[in-house]
Amino acid sequence: MGRLTGKYALITGGTSGIGLATAQAFLAEGAQVAVTGRNPQTLQSAKALLGDNAWVIPCDAGDPEAQATLAAQIAERWPHLDVLYINAGDVTHGPVAEWQPAAWDRLMAVNLKGPYFLIQALLPQLRNPSSVILCGSVSAHIGLPGSSVYAASKAALLSLARTLSAEFLPLGIRVNGLSPGPVKTPALNKLGLGETEQKTLQDDIAKLVPLGRMGRPEELAQAALFLASDDSSYMLGTEILVDGGTGNL
């Protein structure tokens, strides 16, 4: 029997990268899995890869009204929710001088506002016991230049892991953070770089990691599986860093 047999799990931003790898890991452990995404191409490719075993749902992670709609869809089809993995995120980086209010608002909507109101909307459906996993980032710890807005959003999300754990304790809902370090995902392809520049960037990023390489989505998926399962039943309001040692610098 799998570690998630009989459980229902929702993964936001689950159509590529870490989220997709986690969906595959959850399915392999017996869960009923739903994933969300916004890009039509990744939605289609996730459907093809995951097949009929997963429910692929178009959803804008930064729209609070869309979160309410998503919660209603889940309630209509599933009896309850055992696992919620907030993984969708905006990874935009840039120097302070270049940030504009609209871009700030969009990143904060995707990384903080949307997740907050999704949790609120799903609260009646989260089972006792259940697990909520919030995707943080090592950037919340290391002060990387250019990451000011992104890191602030992730630090806020990790703070929610602590405060919501206290508030939801009587409901049997555990909330924990999962913070990746540099991971090789399709998000790197969204930077508009040529092949040579892309390779140089990845090499530069790998140099920041004591282990000397970027992480793999599958490595984060295994950590998410641990937090989703009963193996982590004694963990509450804390954070797992899967970062190759980056946060220790």
pLDDT bucket at 199, cuts 50 / 70 / 90: confident
Mean pLDDT lowest for which of 50-64, 65-79, 89-103, 186-200? 186-200
Q: Residue 29 contacts by C-beta under 8 Å, 6 or more apart in sequence?
A: 2, 3, 4, 5, 225, 229
Report the pLDDT value the prediction gives residue 180, as an integer from 0 to 100. 97
3-state DSSP of the chain: CCCCCCCEEEECCCCCHHHHHHHHHHHHCCCEEEEEECCHHHHHHHHHHHHHHEEEEECCCCCHHHHHHHHHHHHHHCCCEEEEEECCCCCCCCCHHHCCHHHHHHHHHHHHHHHHHHHHHHHHHEEEEEEEEEECCCHHHHCCCCCHHHHHHHHHHHHHHHHHHHHHHHHCEEEEEEEECCECCHHHHHHCCCHHHHHHHHHHHHHCCCCCCCECHHHHHHHHHHHHCHHHCCCCCCEEEECCCHHHC
Report the pLDDT value the prediction gives residue 203, as an integer from 0 to 100. 80
Q: What digits encode the pLDDT tens for the residues 71-114?
A: 999 999 999 999 999 999 999 999 999 999 999 999 999 999 99
Question: Sheet containing 8-11: which strands, arranged edge to edge?
Answer: 54-58, 32-37, 8-11, 81-86, 126-135, 173-180, 239-242
Residue 47 has pLDDT above 80, yes or no: yes
* Helices 101-108, 148-168: crossing angle, 10 deg rounding: 30
Q: For 225-240, what is the mean pLDDT?
A: 98
Q: What digits encode the pLDDT tens for the residues 121-161?
A: 999 999 999 999 999 999 999 988 889 999 999 999 999 99
Which homologous superfamily is 8-248 in?
A: NAD(P)-binding Rossmann-like Domain (3.40.50.720)
pTM, full prediction = 0.95
Q: Is 234 a catalytic residue?
A: no
Q: Which residue in 8, 85, 150, 234 is the catalytic one?
A: 150
Report the pLDDT value the prediction gives residue 205, as an integer from 0 to 100. 78
Are 182 and 208 in contact by the 8 Å Cβ rule? The answer is: yes
Report the pLDDT value the prediction gives residue 189, as an integer from 0 to 100. 61
Are 45 and 24 in contact by the 8 Å Cβ rule? The answer is: no
Q: For 188-201, what is the mean pLDDT?
A: 64
Nearest to 88 by CA among 23, 185, 157, 12: 12
What whole-number percentage of the chain has pLDDT above 90?
A: 86
Domain boundaries, the chain: 8-248
Mean pLDDT lowest for which of 137-141, 186-190, 241-245? 186-190
Tokens 């700030």 belong to 104
Distance CA 7, CA 29 (A): 10
What whole-number percentage of the chain has pLDDT above 70?
A: 95
